Amino acid sequence: DAGVIQSPRHEVTEMGQEVTLRCKPISGHNSLFWYRQTMMRGLELLIYFNNNVPIDDSGMPEDRFSAKMPNASFSTLKIQPSEPRDSAVYFCASSSRPDSSYGYTFGSGTRLTVV
Amino acid sequence: RKEVEQDPGPFNVPEGATVAFNCTYSNSASQSFFWYRQDCRKEPKLLMSVYSSGNEDGRFTAQLNRASQYISLLIRDSKLSDSATYLCVVTNAGNMLTFGGGTRLMVKP
């Protein structure tokens, strides 16, 4: 199993530009999660999909952030326009169970730097 | 108050030592509990689930005290390779995982 695959691994962009992060969950996993990690705030849940449907997006910081899951094998997190305070590591995770009782498997993350 | 609270450390211990981390959580309805390990510049990885009766996996022992809303992780015979950040994780009201800020462990030769 290839695990959760994220791309790109690193992204450096200028303030105001659009950034798109990509994630391929583990095959057969029905739940997908986007997290953001910073030194100050730790790991924060941004949005959660179950069977491709967004269930909880209360963690999305503001309208500049949007996420989609057009099919079971692909999700995107888009930031438009990007700001320096968006600099963080963005992790995608997937799970075979919506009740989280088996934990999540994380991708390697995308390290985003907005200058 | 944060949902999951941990001492950030760092805990500096010599090889072979026994070290314990604690964690408290605020949601009494939490059902699932885990410890994750995160190496520097890597993703979090599941270390072990935590069960009400306590559970052991080799040198690692996890305990849960629901009455006190307290979770612990004990590492015996510490190895250099145990150096990492240990994240305490509980399910929130929506049954999703909520992560503590992590406790950093550094094992010295």
Peptide bond preceding B10 in cis form (omega within 30 of 0): yes
- Has residue A1 got a pLDDT over 70? no
Which of A100, A105, A106, A111 has the highest number of chain B CBs within 10 A, making it the mutation to test binding with B? A100
What pLDDT does residue B2 have?
81
Contact check, Cβ <8 Å, B97/A100: yes
Query: Mean pLDDT by 10-residue block, N- to C-terminus, for chain B (109 residues)?
Result: 90 97 92 94 94 92 95 97 97 84 97
Q: What average pLDDT score do residues A19-25 get? A: 98
Contact, B103 vs B9, CB < 8 A? yes
pLDDT reported for residue A18: 97
C-alpha to C-alpha distance for B88 and B65, rounded to whole angstroms: 14
Cross-chain residue pair B101–A42, CB shorter than 8 Å: yes
Please work out, in degrees rounded to the nearest 5, the angle formed at the alpha carbon of residue A99 by the alpha carbons of A96 and A102.
55
- Give the residue, A80 or A98, on which the prediction is more confident: A80
Percentages of chain B per state (helix, strand, coil), in multiples of 5: 5, 55, 45
